[in-house]
Amino acid sequence: MSSNKGTAMGGGGEEREHRSPRMSERVSASGSTSQSCIFCRIAKKELPSEFVHEDEQCVAFRDVNPQAPVHWLIVPKRHVERLHDLTEADRPLLGHLVLTARLMAERAGVAESGYRLVVNNGDDGGQTVPHLHLHLLGGRAMRWPPG
């Protein structure tokens, strides 16, 4: 289990201190495909990454730009652009992702100290990669409200 070696897509920007560009500026909602999607390509092992977890439905790997000592991403293999695209039929997938995050918290050693699960949805949610993912953040005390 070591750092992800893929290409970072986060970074500084004008409107946002720590995120740019906005999701809608980089990849249109309708234009995002599994062929062009960085997380699809990581999940399909077309881009280098070291998974901390893989099963039939999802993968987990370290965030390339960690915001906490533990910052792992739980990513469905199926291309779903954002949380808000999920439907009633996706209850099992969503449950699986959350329970996988729980398992990852155990694996990362933060289950007892505490952790935060984050899903950024759309531009104002701060989403920069248009493929649904859960952030597992831990290893330090989180602040509230978030930035």
In the block, tokens 């533990």 appear at: 70
Per CB under 6 A, 81 contacts ligand AMP? no
Q: Which residues contact 91 (CB under 8 A, 6 or more apart)?
A: none
Q: Which residues contact 113 (CB under 8 A, 6 or more apart)?
A: 138, 139
Alpha helices in 10-108, H assignment, sequence order = 23-26, 38-43, 91-108
DSSP one-letter string for 15-32: SSSS--S-HHHHS-TTT-
Per CB under 6 A, 127 contacts ligand AMP? yes
For the segment 87-126, give every residue that binds ligand AMP (CB under 6 A). Answer: 120, 126
Write the interaction track for ligand AMP spanning residues 19-48; mark x where CB under 6 A is met and - where it is not. x------------------x----------
CB of 8 to ligand AMP, least distance (A): 5
Per CB under 6 A, 136 contacts ligand AMP? no
Q: Which residues bind ligand AMP (CB under 6 A)?
A: 4, 6-10, 19, 38, 61, 63-65, 73, 120, 126-129
Instruction: Give catalytic residue positions.
Output: 133
